[in-house]
A and B are shown apart, each in its own frame.
Chain A
């Protein structure tokens, strides 16, 4: 605590009383202290950022403020008055809204239904007044440029759109204090800018925003105040004007900012994965991926740049065999177009899904069983038709070691891991067993700067050993830094090839929106 370089007192000169004050918050989980004596003061009409490494206790603290979890000790004051929320309902009533790190939407309901769920407008006390709800949603959506169609099924939305629905839902309920837990993890820069514009608009109207992110540049550009949490406790409160991203990283983890640079090429002449004329149709028969072709060679990282929702998710699911598609996919010499997901995985395709909790984990199963998931026909997890517990458990320990997954043990459920640590576990798992091709959607989503560097190192090492990677990422620095070649996807089509050694994030960003199709 004393080691904090730039430490100031938690409350600065208070003109108005703070919107939120947390004092001495402590929360324990089996085997872990998530929060210990946390102090935090958030002024009204500010964007207050909270940063800290994976598992530092950020989400837990926010869940406490939102009434989802009860603290073991400490006091919460909202607008000066002490509160004791028992449920999120209490927090909502006090004007607090939260957008979670992991989506909390019901897949099989529409956007409208999801938004009004739990606070349905009533017509004469009985029937649900859908008309009123629709109007109000449209109003908010237009006011903040959130552009989401109220009648789309949530399961048909990409992660970016889901994020906006989550925010809309919170605004709809009239929140004056907004908690955003890693809202930008899967957004590309333009979307982030848009979101920040929205946030500034909200702040001007007197709303208060608490914002968690691992992207330190973003934090510096949007926040009015920053609190750093390390190992469950507040170690510093800093003014963004006084620090650089590098200093912030050092405060968080005590390490330097990593860079994803990879210049020495390891690309070979052997094609590992070839995709020809791939077309994927959506529910209404419209092509969401259209006539896409590319090769990835051994030792090559092919980056796909694009604004979320332009067909990336469908492309990935088609390659994994989770979604029917026309076209030919060749893995090495084998035409795998007709293969099941299992066979493709056995053939050596690793898969880091964009939504880790939906597609990557069994939340209510221990870590070692999650090690088996997706690899349930291969060593060291199985021997013939039998599960090899010893093998799987030993290998889970290896992953935890190599990928620095912070956990009390391999028998805890995956749900007990912090978001970034869940991600590290998945990356470690998918890099196991020497994959030939890795399909990586946002591989460092939600991991802290230190862990991000470690994952990049692992990817680089595997690439040098001949791994072919299809990389999809909203982090343009990561995309440009890791990729050997880049393609831009727009409305389901590959619209441009870009040389990563000769492009800036700005230029790539405009190519992604279709502004620079000549690139």
Chain B
């Protein structure tokens, strides 16, 4: 038996060295090709369109926007990936982050505290709410055997309703001045996460939260590769029966993983909340959790891969604005994103097969060179 398709899909089977790089590159080239064909068919010049996207994406202001949105995507994809590593499909990142951001915004807006503490408490509240909300799905799975896919989808719907109920002027919301929007009371400066002017040539600031996101990626890597907990988690993902026999308490792991995934999801809304809007209002971004699923797949649950995936996704999202101005439907970008995810899956499959074939050729070359030296078992 060789590795199963799902294992390769979720990146549980590693590809070493340059080949690990070849797959995503192949995928992007392929996706570019497909998009070009579509552009051609719809009567838009493919090369010029691509150039338009690239040029616009390379402008300082757009770069800042790309990094900022990618920060959010990155955290969302990490949250999804935590579950993936253990075969848990947390579809509920979306509901988890929206609820977490709403409650955190309300708390942050109500508090009066010195700066670092204020930010810290707000973030903690978000993490706690995200974790708690996800733990419902975890508990249902552990005690009742309810599939987390089903329960998290339901919980998304409930979070939407619950959020709408909370975000009324009788409860957590106030009217936003000068519009008919409503939102939580704005977080005062002491609770805001300062950004910094990283990119020259623009006033726009990069979210300070990008640092937190990077640290989160590092923590993710360390957790899975260097800790006992991460080992148990991966072992459970690979073979539940073997994990049980090895002494892993699988129920506890399911619950903990779900909580961890939800806690990370709680952070998804933070860059936006603490770095830009300072309030959770009706137009707070939605759907980030679903984008996270696509990016986790794209990055194959690897923190660096996810970072690249998030940047790419964000680049496409941001630079698509220019297409509208040029009269090209910006939906072309959505097609591109979809193609990329699909091509990544196909490309990894191809590279895998190539690797196998290449290694076998290598063995046979060594064999014919060394006559009958390494029989049966070799080096």
Interface residues of chain A, those whose CB is within 8 Å of chain B, are 28-34, 36, 55-57, 72, 230-233, 320, 322, 340-346, 351, 353, 358-365, 369, 372-377, 382, 385-387, 389, 406-409, 413, 415
- Knowing that A353-B245, A362-B235, A376-B231 are A-B contacts, what are 5 other residue pairs whose CB atoms are under 8 Å apart, sorted by A's residue number? A33-B363, A322-B245, A362-B242, A365-B235, A385-B227
Q: Which one of B31-39, B129-137, B202-210, B370-378 is at the interface?
A: B370-378
Q: How far is the CB of A332 from chain B (nearest CB, A)?
A: 18
CB-nearest residue of chain B to A36: B375
A28 adjacent to B360 (CB under 8 Å): yes
Contact with A along B221-237 (1 / 0, CB 8 A): 00001111111101100
Known: A363-B239, A376-B228. A33 touches B375 (CB 8 A): yes
Cβ-defined contact, A373 with B235, below 8 A: yes
A30 touches B359 (CB 8 A): yes
Which residues of A have CB within 8 Å of B363?
A: 28-33
Q: Are B231 and A358 in contact (CB under 8 A)?
A: no
Determine whether the beta carbon of A340 is less than 8 Å from that of B247: yes
Which residues of chain B are near A34, meaning CB under 8 Å? 376
Name the residue on A nearest B249 (C-beta): A340
B1 within 8 A of A: yes
Chain A residues positioned under 8 Å from B367 (CB to CB): 28, 33
> Of residues A72, A320, A376, which shows the largest number of chain B Cβ atoms within 10 Å of its Cβ?
A376
Q: Are A386 and B246 closer than 8 Å at their CB atoms?
A: no
Closest Cβ of chain A to B175, distance in Å, is 49
A369 to chain B, nearest CB (A): 7
B247 A359 Cβ-Cβ under 8 A: no
Measured CA separation A455–B338 after assembly (Å): 54
Q: Which chain B residue has the least Cβ–Cβ distance from A35? A: B376
In contact, B377 and A358 (Cβ under 8 angstroms): no
A480 to B361, CA, bound (A): 48
Report yes or no: B231 in contact with A369, Cβ–Cβ below 8 A. yes
- Tell me if B's interface is mostly helix, strand, loop or mixed: helix
Check if B7 is an interface residue, CB within 8 A of chain A. yes
Does the CB pair B376–A363 fall under 8 Å?
no
Contact B242 A32, beta carbon cutoff 8 Å = no
Q: Which residues of A contact B375 (CB under 8 A)?
A: 33, 36, 231-233
Bound form: Cα–Cα A400–B232 in Å: 23
Nearest B residue (CB) for A100: B1
B227 and A364 form a contact (CB under 8 A): no
Query: Residues of B with Cβ closer than 8 Å to A?
Result: 1-3, 7, 12-13, 225-232, 234-235, 238-239, 241-242, 244-249, 356, 359-360, 362-364, 367, 374-379
Contacts of A31 in B (CB 8 A): 359, 363, 378-379
Q: How far is the CB of A429 from chain B (nearest CB, A)?
A: 10
A32 close to B228 (CB less than 8 A): no
User: What would be 14 A-B contacts, judged by CB atoms less than 8 Å apart?
Assistant: A29-B360, A29-B363, A31-B379, A57-B376, A231-B376, A232-B376, A358-B241, A359-B244, A361-B242, A363-B238, A365-B238, A377-B228, A386-B228, A387-B225
Nearest Cβ on chain B to A41's Cβ, whole angstroms? 22
B244 to chain A, nearest CB (A): 6
| Known pairs A72-B364, A364-B12, A408-B378; A359 contacts B245 (CB<8 A) | yes
Q: State in angstroms the CA–CA spacing of A239 and B62 once bound together.
A: 80
| Minimum distance in angstroms from A233 CB to a CB of chain B | 8
> Min CB distance, B278 to chain A, in Å?
37
Q: In whole angstroms, how far apart are the Cα atoms of A372 and B248 in the complex?
A: 12
Task: Tell whether A30 pairs with B244 under 8 Å between CB atoms, given A231-B375, A364-B238, A385-B227.
Answer: no
Q: How far is the CA of A359 from the CA of B2 in the complex (A)?
A: 18
Task: Tell me the complex Cα distance, A233–B226, Å.
Answer: 42
Closest to B362 in A: A30
Residue of B nearest to A63 (CB): B1
Q: How far is the CB of B358 from chain A (nearest CB, A)?
A: 9
Cβ of A38 to closest chain B Cβ, rounded Å:
12
Task: List the A residue with the shortest CB-CB distance to B377.
Answer: A406
- How far, in angstroms, from A360 to B247 measured CA to CA in the complex? 11
Residues in A whose Cβ lies below 8 Å from that of B247: 340-346, 374, 376-377
Q: What residue of chain B has the Cβ atom nearest to residue A351's Cβ?
A: B245
- Return the chain A residue nearest B247 by Cβ: A342
Indicate whether A358 sits within 8 Å of B242 (C-beta atoms), given known contacts A33-B363, A231-B376. Answer: yes
A53 to chain B, nearest CB (A): 9
B39 to chain A minimum Cβ distance, whole angstroms, is 39
Complex CA gap A353/B375 in Å reads: 31
User: Known: A30-B363, A340-B247, A387-B226. Contact between A359 and B377, CB under 8 A?
Assistant: no
In the complex, how many angstroms separate the beta carbon of B11 from the nearest chain A beta carbon?
Answer: 12
Give the distance in Å from the alpha carbon of A28 to the alpha carbon of B359 in the complex: 9
Task: Return A307 CB to nearest CB of chain B, in Å.
Answer: 23
Interface residue from A72, A364, A374, A415 paired with B245 (Cβ < 8 Å): A374
From known contacts A32-B363, A340-B247, A345-B247, infer whether A408 and B377 are also in contact, taking CB-CB under 8 Å: yes
Chain B residues near A376 (CB-CB < 8 A):
228, 231-232, 235, 246-248
**Chain B hits for A232, CB < 8 A:** 375-376
In the assembly, what is the distance between CA of A472 and CA of B119, in Å? 61
User: Among the listed A32, A322, A372, A386, which residue makes an inter-chain contact with B378, where contact means beta carbons less than 8 Å apart?
Assistant: A32
Known A36-B375, A376-B232; contact A362-B245, beta-carbon cutoff 8 A: no
Check A406/B244 contact, CB under 8 A, given A31-B363, A72-B360, A387-B228.
no
How many angstroms between the C-alpha atoms of A351 and B242 in the bound complex?
Answer: 12
Chain A residue numbers with a CB within 8 Å of B378 are 31-33, 408
CA distance A363 to B237 in the complex (A): 12
A386 to B227, CA, bound (A): 4
Bound CA–CA A342/B225 (angstroms): 21
> CA–CA, A363 to B378, complex, Å?
21
Instruction: Give CA–CA (A56, B374) in the complex, Å.
Output: 13
Chain A residues whose CB sits within 8 angstroms of the CB of B376 once the complex forms: 32-34, 55-57, 230-232, 406
Residues B379 and A358 in contact, CB atoms below 8 Å apart: no
Cβ contact within 8 Å between A341 and B245: yes
- Across the interface, which residues of A come within 8 angstroms of B248, CB to CB? 342, 376
Q: Write out the residue numbers on chain A whose beta carbons fall within 8 Å of the beta carbon of B234.
A: 365
CA–CA, A389 and B242, complex, Å? 20
Task: Quote the shortest CB–CB distance from B227 to chain A (angstroms).
Answer: 5
**When A and B form their complex, which 7 residue pairs have the shortest distance between CB atoms, in order from nearest?**
A231-B376, A342-B247, A30-B359, A374-B246, A359-B245, A231-B375, A341-B247
Contacts of A233 in B (CB 8 A): 375
Closest Cβ of chain B: how far from A276's Cβ, in Å? 23
Measured CB to CB, the closest approach of chain A to B10, in angstroms, equals 11
* Complex partner residue of B377 from A55, A387, A415, CB under 8 angstroms: A55
Complex: chain A residue closest to B241, CB-CB: A358
Q: Is the CB of A364 within 8 A of B231?
A: no
